[in-house]
Amino acid sequence: MRSDLRQNSPAPVSPKPAPLIRAEHIGKSYTAADGNLLPVLQDISLAIEQNASVALLGPSGCGKTTLLHLMAGFLQPDGGQLYYKGKPLGELHPQTGVLFQSPTLFNWLTVEDNVAFGLKRAGLAKAERQARCAGFIRRVGLAGFEKAYPAQLSGGMQQRAALARILVLEPEVLLLDEPFGALDAMTRRNMHKLLFELRKDIPFTTVFITHDVEEAVILAERVVVLSQRPARIIKEVTVPFTPEESLDVDSHAFADIKKQIRTLLEQTE
Amino acid sequence: MLKSKPIRQREPGKNPGLPYLLPALLLLAWFLTTHFQLLPPYLLPKPTDTLRALVRFAAPGATGPYGGTLWVHLWHSLGRVCRGFGLAAGAGLLLGYLCGRRQGLNRIISPFVHLIRSVPGIGWLPLAIVWFGVGEKNTLFLISLASFFPIFTNTVHSAASVSQQIILAGQMLGAKKTALFTSVILPASFAGVAVGLRLGLGIAWAYLVLGEMTGVNYGLGAVMTDARMLGNTAMVIVCIVVIAIAAKITDSLLLLGCRLAAPIEQEKAGGNS
Ligand SMILES: Nc1ncnc2c1ncn2[C@@H]1O[C@H](COP(=O)(O)OP(=O)(O)OP(=O)(O)O)[C@@H](O)[C@H]1O
Ligand SMILES: [Mg+2]
């Protein structure tokens, strides 16, 4: 069930549904501090189907965040075109939620008010806001912490709250920028499980960045391996596991895929 | 549950009496100096005489020099501080946020402001007297000019330091233009801005005295000048004490206001200790 927060018209009926996000020959450069042009992305073409889960894997500083921010509409590409549901991606579209690399909870608001922030902007009445927020706060396992401020939460709890803040808006796409990079192994695994459970209940498309091969194989159905900067797509690897299987990180099949991707990554160096 | 005795570490610097140590020592030194008549009374009157002058100053209807006039003077001084500080805060916040968020505007305005700021406040006094004459307007000018700078500088800095990711997060959650400013940029920068406001208010009191000494009918600065000319040193000290207390109270009120506006500051302060 999709909420009334979405305003876009239904996609035109076509025999094969267009990918939700499509990048065609995307290029992006920054102007570096010394005034020179710094090419970051080079000829990236990528299609992401509805409800897919795709990992972007690449060496540090290669341009992963840049690619994600292009998909979110925070940045414009220099060349090429991004499509969302077959239409050129314009300004920031409200169907996208981004979980940032570092925690971006509003530290002056309680967990509850953080989660309600987007609904408030969308003009929902207070009672309705509270009802929806309570559900999502419980879903991410933060029941009892509604009145806590972000500074009083652990890193994992902060990312949970940030996740609830996005999911309450029922986005079609969830973009995650190494959201669990700073968490310890146990907390990270719990977050992986949480994501699985959430996706079972409310289907959404996930694109996430990681430089942890294991995390990529666990969470993604498809791993896109990027080269050193300027980033090109080296290869796309399909992960043939069901979500339950991919949580079994000790299996042989899992190790094989990991090895295959790791070899690809090492070639980039 | 096992009930263990909480480990009470002796936390150095946490004794609530510490802030009163120096004032108490000073008072003692004052008492001893006058008791043994190390200084003549016209340089340093006795603490008891000073206290008596304060009581006379404050008690409504009291007779004798300055008897019962404290409140009318305080009222005028407070009014000037509020007006001057209000002007400075209005201009400082407005320009500060504009410059903090608009790089181009900042490049035009900030260098000029810093140039003006390098002139010490007192340096403006002669010009202020020429422009506004002695008294009311001149005082207002000095107060608002001097307290503008810390408010402006702190606001520019705090507004510019709001992280790009926080702003992106706000935009992603649907806050645009004015909503983005009021619901994200304003609260995110508030702590730093509040520091600037407090500094500005403190400076407002300092320049109040400077302005009032040039000649106003009512005001603590006027009483000070008058008392000094009459050799009533006790009254000068009384005025200093009254100004210190009044400044402290207005500062606490401002702090309270800031905390009501942004409750998280309180939480943080409590959580860190
Ligand atoms: N706004 C900017 N201006 C100039 N250069 C930038 C800007 N943003 C990023 N860069 C540069 O672009 C390159 C790619 O940045 P990006 O953040 O996309 O990399 P990343 O793959 O996400 O890195 P990491 O793994 O460290 O998160 C980096 O070399 C970075 O220095
Ligand atoms: Mg990054």
CATH of the domain at B243: 1.10.3720.10
Q: Is the pLDDT of residue B6 over 70?
A: no
A12-38 in b/e burial notation, b at 16+ Cβ within 10 A? Answer: eeeeeebbbbbbeebebbeeeeeeeee
Of B57, B33, B60, the residue nearest B47 (C-alpha): B33
Q: Could you count the other beta carbons within 10 Å of the beta carbon of residue A221? A: 18
Which of A74, A152, A165 lies nearest to residue B168, judging by beta carbons? A74
Residue B91 lies in a domain: yes
Rounded to whole angstroms, the Cα distance separating A244 from A246 reads 6
A208-218 in b/e burial notation, b at 16+ Cβ within 10 A? Answer: bbbbebbbbbb
Q: What's CA A77's distance to the chain center, in Å?
A: 19
Residue B9 lies in a domain: no
Order the strands of the A87-88 sheet from edge to edge.
A37-48, A21-31, A79-84, A87-88
Q: Is the pLDDT of residue B271 over 50?
A: no
What pLDDT does residue A196 have? 87
Confidence class for position B266, pLDDT limits 50, 70, 90: very low
Q: Is the pLDDT of residue A141 over 70?
A: yes
Average pLDDT over residues B241-263: 90
The angle that helices B186-213 and B264-272 make with each other, rounded to 10 degrees, is 90
Domain that holds residue B187: 70-270
Rounded to whole angstroms, the Cα distance separating A260 from A225 reads 11
What pLDDT does residue B259 have? 84
- DSSP per-residue letters across A16-52: SPPPSEEEEEEEEEEE-TTS-EEEEEEEEEEEE-TT-
Tell the residue nearest (CA) to atom 2 of ligand 1: A30
What pLDDT does residue B270 have? 36
Confidence class for position B269, pLDDT limits 50, 70, 90: very low
Q: Is the pLDDT of residue B169 over 90?
A: yes
User: A261 with A217: CB under 8 angstroms?
Assistant: yes
Q: Is the pLDDT of residue A269 over 70?
A: no
Angle, CA of A244, A17 and A224, to the nearest 5°: 50
Q: Name residue A226's beta-bridge partners.
A: A233
User: A130 with A116: CB under 8 angstroms?
Assistant: yes
Residue B46 lies in a domain: no
Query: Does residue A102 sit at the B interface (CB-CB below 8 Å)?
Result: yes
Share of chain A above pLDDT 90, in %: 39
Tokens (6 digits) for A213: 């091969």
User: Which of A65, A100, A210, A268 maximizes ligand 1 atoms within 8 Å of its Cβ, making it the mutation to test the pocket?
Assistant: A65
Confidence class for position B188, pLDDT limits 50, 70, 90: very high
What pLDDT does residue B65 have? 84
3-class DSSP state of A81:
strand
pLDDT in tens, A77-111: 998 888 888 788 875 465 789 998 887 999 999 99
Measure Cα distances from B123 to A3, B50, B133 in Å: 64, 33, 16
Confidence class for position B268, pLDDT limits 50, 70, 90: very low
Q: Is the pLDDT of residue A11 over 80?
A: no
CA dihedral over B133, B134, B136, B140, signed as positive or negative: positive
What is the bridge-based pairing of β-strands A96-99 and A173-177? parallel
- DSSP per-residue letters across B192-217: HHHHHHHHHHHHHHHHHHHHHHTT-S
Q: Is the pLDDT of residue B76 over 90?
A: yes
- Amino acid at site A43: D
Rounded to whole angstroms, the Cα distance separating A19 from B236 reads 81
Structural domains of chain A, with CATH: 20-95+173-198+205-269 (3.40.50.300), 101-170 (no CATH)
Average pLDDT over residues B20-28: 92
Average pLDDT over residues A62-90: 87
Q: What's CA B150's distance to the chain center, in Å?
A: 11
What pLDDT does residue A250 have? 77
Residue B238 lies in a domain: yes
Q: What is the mean pLDDT of chain A?
A: 85
Residue B36 lies in a domain: no
Average pLDDT over residues B64-91: 94
Q: Is the pLDDT of residue B233 over 80?
A: yes
- The least confident of A15-19, A102-106, A186-190 is A15-19
Query: Does residue A39 sit at the B interface (CB-CB below 8 Å)?
Result: no
What pLDDT does residue B56 have? 94
Residue A75 CB–ligand 1 contact under 6 Å: no
Contacts 24+ apart (CB under 8 A), A248-253: A249/A214, A249/A218
Q: Is the pLDDT of residue A5 over 90?
A: no
| Preceding omega of B60 cis (within 30 degrees of 0) | no
Residue B27 lies in a domain: no
Overall domain count for chain B: 1
A232 alpha carbon – ligand 1 mean position (Å): 15
Residue B231 lies in a domain: yes
A98 chain-B contacts, CB cut-off 8 A:
168-169, 172
- The answer to whether the Cβ–Cβ distance between B165 and A100 falls below 8 Å is yes
Average pLDDT over residues B208-227: 90
Residue A158 CB–ligand 1 contact under 6 Å: no
Contacts 24+ apart (CB under 8 A), B29-34: none
Average pLDDT over residues A192-206: 87
Q: Is the pLDDT of residue A30 over 70?
A: yes
Q: Is the pLDDT of residue B11 over 70?
A: no
Q: Is the pLDDT of residue B235 over 90?
A: yes
What pLDDT does residue B194 have? 93
Q: How far apart are the first and last CA of chain B?
A: 26
What pLDDT does residue A13 have? 52
What pLDDT does residue A255 have? 83
Residue B128 lies in a domain: yes
Residue A40 CB–ligand 1 contact under 6 Å: yes
User: A109 with A89: CB under 8 angstroms?
Assistant: no
Q: Is B110 exposed, middle or buried (0-12, 13-18, 19+ CB in 10 A)?
A: middle
